[in-house]
């Protein structure tokens, strides 16, 4: 049994493009990391999510966590609209990094890693930032934006895996293939 330990509809949708049969069991793990290094933090949280679900249901479990970072500072999900504004303002006109940590527990063994994508935003004026926040797309997303939605407009360029920005890097699918899963069966 393959289990996606995630409440994210984006992760479910991306995995379902490659694998027909899997269960979705969101993790109850508390999302608190001990590191301030984006890669370490994302992998630590991905492990916590995967382990919590594995301890309940076993099988092969995938956990993932996405963080946005700029100037060495990690931006998680905004707590409110003002925080979303501060995050988007800090990303305006600049390059930032989106890192997804992942952990696959398979036959009791953990395979984990992280993938980072570089993203350059256009200059965003306050009117645009507030109009975007009013769309409601900010609130459940790291860095207060979703590249797959209207914030696609903010992106001047990206370097690396697009799916990683959405929260589910192709490296996870690649690892599943190495573990023997038929990833092009759909």
Ligand X SMILES: Cc1cn([C@H]2C[C@H](O)[C@@H](COP(=O)(O)OP(=O)(O)OP(=O)(O)O)O2)c(=O)[nH]c1=O
Residue 80 phi/psi, 5° resolution?
-155, 180
Q: Which stretch binds ligand X (CB under 6 A): 17-25, 88-96, 107-115, 143-151?
A: 143-151
Are 25 and 59 a contacting pair, CB within 8 Å?
no
Decide: helix, strand or coil at residue 96.
Answer: strand
In angstroms, what is the C-alpha Rg of the chain?
16
One residue of 38, 78, 146, 169 binding ligand X per CB under 6 A: 146
Binding of ligand X at residue 7 (CB under 6 A)?
A: yes
| CA–CA distance, 148 with 9 (Å, rounded to integer) | 12
Q: Which two tokens stand for residue 132?
A: 């975007």
Site of tokens 């998680």 = 76
Task: Round to the nearest angstrom and report the end-to-end CA distance of the chain.
Answer: 17
The span of 13-21, 52-60, 140-148, 172-180 binding ligand X (CB under 6 A) equals: 140-148
Taking the least distance from each CB to ligand X, the nearer of 51 and 77 is 77
DSSP 57-75: H-SEEEEEEEEEEETTEEE
User: Does residue 131 interact with ligand X by CB under 6 A?
Assistant: no
Q: Select the residue interacting with ligand X from 54, 102, 145, 154 (CB under 6 A).
A: 145
| Number of residues binding to ligand X, judged by CB under 6 A | 24
Residues 24 to 53: which contact ligand X by CB under 6 A?
26, 49
| Residues of this chain, 157-176, that bind ligand X according to CB under 6 A | 165-167
Backbone angles phi, psi at 49, to 5 degrees: -65, -50
List 87, 147, 172, 176, residue binding ligand X (CB under 6 A)? 147
Shortest distance, position 31 Cβ to ligand X, whole Å:
6
65 tagged catalytic:
yes
Active-site residue set: 65
Binding site for ligand X (CB under 6 A): 6-8, 10-11, 26, 49, 64-66, 68, 77, 98, 140-143, 145-148, 165-167
């Amino acid at each position: 049994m393959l289990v996606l330990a995630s409440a994210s509809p984006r992760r479910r949708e991306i995995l379902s493009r490659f694998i027909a049969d899997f269960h979705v069991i969101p993790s109850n793990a508390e999302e608190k990391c001990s590191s301030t290094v984006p890669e370490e933090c994302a992998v630590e949280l991905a492990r916590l999510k995967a382990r919590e679900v594995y301890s309940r249901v076993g099988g092969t479990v995938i956990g993932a966590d996405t963080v946005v970072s700029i100037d060495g500072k990690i931006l998680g999900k905004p707590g409110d609209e003002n925080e979303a504004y501060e995050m988007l303002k800090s990303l305006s006109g600049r390059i930032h990094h989106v890192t997804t940590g992942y952990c696959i527990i398979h036959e009791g063994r953990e395979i984990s890693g992280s993938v980072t994508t570089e993203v350059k935003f256009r200059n965003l004026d306050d009117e645009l930032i507030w109009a975007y926040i009013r769309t409601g797309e900010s609130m459940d997303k790291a860095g207060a934006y979703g590249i797959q939605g209207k914030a696609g407009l903010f992106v001047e360029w990206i370097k690396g895996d697009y799916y990683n920005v959405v929260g589910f890097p192709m490296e996870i699918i690649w690892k599943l293939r190495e573990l023997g899963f038929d990833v092009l069966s759909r």
